[in-house]
Each structure stands twice: as structure tokens, then as C-alpha cells.
Amino acid sequence: MARQLGFLINLEKCIGCKACEMACENARDISEGSRWRRVVRLRKQFKGVNSQQLISLACNHCQNPECFRVCPERAYHKRRDGIVLHNPIRCTGCQQCVGACPFRTPQYNPLTKKVEKCDLCVSNIDQGQMPSCVEACFFSALEVVDINNIPTNASSTTSGFENIKATKPSIAFICSKPVSIYLREHGREGIGD
């Protein structure tokens, strides 16, 4: 089976500090208003109790990416390790990929009039290093793994996250309870948006 790199997110460890977001912005020339990685709150229920789940999201480097399929300029390509890359030279800014992606991760840059997205810090990967977001995560809540070999306690989806079976996002989650309960058990207060 071919290697498929993707993100493993330990939801019990993420405290919403947004260090991953900041590291991504600092590592890339991202236009103002764009965020290739973002920490979001998903509402979920756990044994009848409403709670919120913090999730750090970026491009999911899907196994069957819609961006790749719909781009009329063939500005996307998929490497053998599963990383989905965008070539801005070929991009005309038509934004078909933005509309087609179920996770809305490709973003239109009005300054360049082109689309841009997370490339999994491919230059770091090629040098045997981790992406900036992973290196910046103080609590090791974010990892890059081969999605074909995720730990047995990981799942391809979590409550509130839409697992699109057609695109097969390369993301997995570790979580046995909502973050709000985890924080309360470990003496931490809620995290601000």
C-alpha cells in the first residue's frame, strides 16, 4: 500500500493555544486574512452533555482530492507520499477548487489573484523534518503520520467533523472524551476563541 501522509490530532492534548496557527503564518508568506491552519471549536455531545471540541485544521491532503479533480488548469498534483501540492504558476484564480473542497481549505488570495493552500511544509518533509505547525505544538497534539498506519486508538472522524468518504481526508483523531471534560479534570479553565 502506498504511503499517505496526513495529520494525527490528539484532541485530548490540544488546549487551543494556536501556536500551530502562528507557526504556519510565520513559516509562509500568507496574505493578510488568510489562514492555512486554524484552530476551530466544534460542538459535540458526550453522554448527553453538550461540550466543545478544539480541532486544529489545515488541508487534509485527501486521498481523492476534489481540488485536483475540478481544477481546469491542472494546478494540483499529488506526490507519491500523498501530499497534495498547488502550482501557483498554473493557477488562474478561477476558484473552482475553493468551491469543490468540502473543507474549504484552498483560499483565494486577492493580492495575487490566485489560490493558495497548506503544502504540509513539503520542504521540511523532504529534509526529514516536521511541518512548522507540528514543531510548534507544545503539547504534541499534532503529528504527521502515514494514515495507513494510524494507532489503534485513533479514528478517521470525530463528532462535529465531517468525514467525507468520497475524498478520504488524510486525518485521524485521538479522543475518548470532550476537551471541556479533559480540561476540567486537569484543572484548566476554558480556552478563549
Give the C-alpha distances (Å, rounded to integers) separating 175 from 9, 17, 141, 151: 9, 18, 11, 12
Within-domain flag for 184? no
> Which structural domain range is residue 99 located in?
5-10+18-175
Give 20-60 pLDDT, tens digit per residue. Answer: 999 998 887 666 667 889 888 876 655 665 667 788 899 99
pLDDT at 191 over 80: no
- Single-letter amino acid, residue 183: L
Per-position b or e across 65-89, b if 16+ CB within 10 A of its CB: bbbbeebeeebbebbeebbbbbeee
Structurally, the chain folds into a number of domains equal to: 1
Q: Classify strands 84-86 and 49-57 as parallel, antiparallel or unpaired.
A: unpaired
* 115 in Cβ contact with 108 (< 8 Å): yes
The per-residue pLDDT for 49 is 59
User: Which residue is listed with cell 520542504?
Assistant: 123
Within-domain flag for 155? yes
The per-residue pLDDT for 33 is 63
Within-domain flag for 126? yes
C-alpha cell at 41: 471549536
* 53 in Cβ contact with 191 (< 8 Å): no
* 54 in Cβ contact with 39 (< 8 Å): yes
Within-domain flag for 146? yes
Instruction: Give me the phi and psi of 70, to 5 degrees please.
Output: -95, -10
Cβ-proximal residues to 154 (8 Å cutoff; 6+ apart), any chain: 8, 172, 173, 174
Within-domain flag for 130? yes
DSSP string covering 141-164: -EEEEEGGG--TT-BS--TTS---
Between residues 154 and 94, which one has the greater pLDDT? 94
The per-residue pLDDT for 157 is 79
Within-domain flag for 135? yes
Give 80-119 pLDDT, tens digit per residue. Answer: 999 999 999 999 999 999 999 998 899 998 988 999 999 9
Within-domain flag for 186? no
Q: How far apart are CA 68 and CA 71, in angstroms?
A: 6
**What CATH number does residue 148 fall under?**
3.30.70.20
Mean of all residue pLDDT scores within the chain: 85
* 88 in Cβ contact with 75 (< 8 Å): yes
Confidence band of 164 (pLDDT split at 50, 70, 90): confident
